[in-house]
């Protein structure tokens, strides 16, 4: 009886872990790894692109909620959004955002 109960608990916990592993959504800015949070604004687009193309920086996502900076795995997908306020979907693995989609964030009224 104890074995069955233990197996049921383990299966429930495993299923819960799989459910939490799905894509999440965050809103923030596309900046570069040299400027990070300082480049998280609507005036930084040209500078962000220049840092990536000329200085070897990487595109990063700066989360609005906690100002945490994540390197984006799909650099080509975010290049057109340099300096933009965006909503991203994906998963986080350490300091890396594994991007599944990116869209312009709705304008704040």
3-state helix, strand, coil in the chain (%, to 5): 40, 35, 30
pTM: 0.78
Domain ranges of the chain: 23-104
Summarised one tens digit per residue, pLDDT across range 77-88 is 999 999 999 999
Summarised one tens digit per residue, pLDDT across range 3-45 is 564 555 554 544 444 334 579 999 999 999 999 999 999 899 9
Please report the pLDDT score of residue 107 as a whole number.
Answer: 81
Distances (CA, A) of 34 to 11, 24, 25, 50: 44, 26, 24, 11
């Amino acid at each position: 009886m104890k074995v069955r109960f233990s197996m049921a608990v383990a299966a429930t916990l495993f299923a819960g872990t799989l459910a939490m592993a799905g894509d999440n959504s965050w809103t923030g800015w596309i900046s570069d790894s040299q400027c990070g949070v300082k480049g998280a604004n609507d005036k930084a687009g040209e500078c962000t692109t220049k840092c990536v193309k000329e200085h070897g920086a990487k595109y990063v996502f700066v989360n609005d909620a906690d100002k945490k900076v994540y390197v984006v795995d799909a650099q080509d997908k975010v290049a057109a959004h340099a300096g933009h306020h965006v909503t991203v979907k994906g998963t986080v693995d350490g300091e890396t955002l594994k991007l599944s989609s990116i869209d312009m964030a709705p304008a704040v009224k």
